Structure 1
Amino acid sequence: MPKLTTNLILFFVLLATTPAAAGTFPAGGAKYLETCRNATEAMEKKFKLPKRLLNAISLTETGRWHKASREIIAWPWTVYSEGRGRYLPNKEAAIAEVQKLRAKGVKNIDVGCMQVNLYWHPEAFDNLEDAFDPKINANYAGSLLKKLQREHRSWTTAVAYYHSQTRKYYIPYRKKVMKIWQEQKRKDSEARMAKAREAYKKRREMIARKMAEQKALRLAKREGEENS
């Protein structure tokens, strides 16, 4: 962010390929599966952003297929530069990758859950430790998205400009984010409905048990009266 369409193409390929072809997370990566999601959820609340919107951007920016859960997961230790994304196993490795790129003279580098560009946003972080801190990374992205929305009075424009203000780049990006956002909201709705159904089922079962208990008590009382 901002970047050309190569990163989008990478993401489209991940979505289109089979789980096996899309690759797996680094060993021990399971502990980071909720890292970006937790960070974006916190910032959505902080900046009063539409629910799941920052998460949808994160999935678009750093999404990778997770075979076990069969879904795309945002990866916090992602580095994008020189036309390709790098999914590192941990924070230390991600920092080392950026340092290696900088040693080569590379300046255009995107980092973290939200793929904040270190060249175009030099004021975003004090150091690479902060750049790869998921909450600090998402905090900057959230504040930027909110600023863009205030300036343009539109969340869809804010999403587009988060990536680029060049039409041929932001249109496919915005479409991808909006599609993922709608899918995330659909999942939330389904989860709420499932929870409501389960709660209703439990209430019905509780009522049925109480009725059965009351019926048993009445029968026992009646039998007691008849035998007295």
Structure 2
Amino acid sequence: MMIKRITTTFCLAAVMTNADPITSDTMFERIGIQSGVDPLLLYSIAIVESATGTGDGETITPHPYVFRTSDGPQFFHARDEAEQALEKALETTDNIDVGMMQRNLYWHPPQDGEALFDPEEQVTWASELLASYLSRDEPLELRIGRYHSSRHPLAIAYGQRVLKVYSNLMKLEDITHADQ
């Protein structure tokens, strides 16, 4: 996925596709289909929440070993490093967003035994939360934005940002399909 700037606004249609080259044969596809949430929408949220560069200057990908405090995001190369740093951060606050889908520990505390840095658990949790918001009778940007905030202006801005990423990824899919 070559994403340098996201500039286009898009209105998401409620369509799920199995021919999605970006999420095909991934946990996003499997979990999205199970939960009834568009896999590309889940992937778009993962990009917004935890994207990091891969080192080539053009490619970004969701990152599983990250958490964010009021001091900003901290990215780690290994799960054990992330878990140790998180334990230390939890000594001062529980308002921390954790993992690929940035689960907030204050608002969404984990059950015993949940692996906060496990991508599959993160995406499963996110798909369940997002599915509950998508079923509401509200504008799409707001329903998606509820994943990030219950405050209307923040939710709308977040929903619009996710939809821009979604739109950009759809364009990449169109290019990929045209090349086949």
Give the shorter-chain TM-score range: 0.7 to 0.9
TM-score, length of structure 1 as denominator length: 0.64
Distance in 1, matches of 2:62 and 2:51, equals 4
Residues 110 and 118 of structure 1 are in contact (CA less than 8 Å); yes or no, is this contact kept in structure 2? yes
Structure 2 runs not aligned, ≥5 long: 6-21
Residue-by-residue CA offset, 1:46-66 (whole Å, 9 max, x unaligned): 112124101001100111122
Q: Which residue of 2 aligns with 1:126?
A: 112
Which residue of 73, 83, 101 maps to 2:89? 101
SS at match of 2:31: helix
SS at match of 2:147: helix
Structure 1 runs not aligned, ≥5 long: 1-14, 17-33, 196-228
Residues 44 and 54 of structure 1 are in contact (CA less than 8 Å); yes or no, is this contact kept in structure 2? yes
- The alignment status of 1:149 with 2:134, answered yes or no, reads yes
Q: Which residue of 1 aligns with 2:60?
A: 72
SS at match of 2:52: strand
Which residue of 53, 60, 71 maps to 2:41? 53
Q: Which has the higher helix share?
A: 1
Query: RCO (CA 8 Å, sep 6+): is it higher in 1 or 2?
Result: 2
- The alignment status of 1:160 with 2:148, answered yes or no, reads no
SS at match of 1:151: coil
Q: CA RMSD for the aligned pairs?
A: 2.3
Aligned pair count?
160
Q: Which residue of 2 aligns with 1:117?
A: 104
SS at match of 2:101: coil
Runs of 4+ aligned residues of structure 1 deviating over 4 Å after TM superposition are none
Change (3 A) 1:67 1:165: same
Which residue of 29, 37, 46 maps to 1:41? 29
Q: CA deviation at 1:155?
A: 4.1
Residues 125 and 131 of structure 1 are in contact (CA less than 8 Å); yes or no, is this contact kept in structure 2? no
Q: Which residue of 2 aligns with 1:211?
A: none
Percentage identity across paired residues of the two chains: 23
SS at match of 1:163: coil
Residues 40 and 138 of structure 1 are in contact (CA less than 8 Å); yes or no, is this contact kept in structure 2? yes
Q: What amino acid sits opposite 1:181 in the alignment?
A: Y
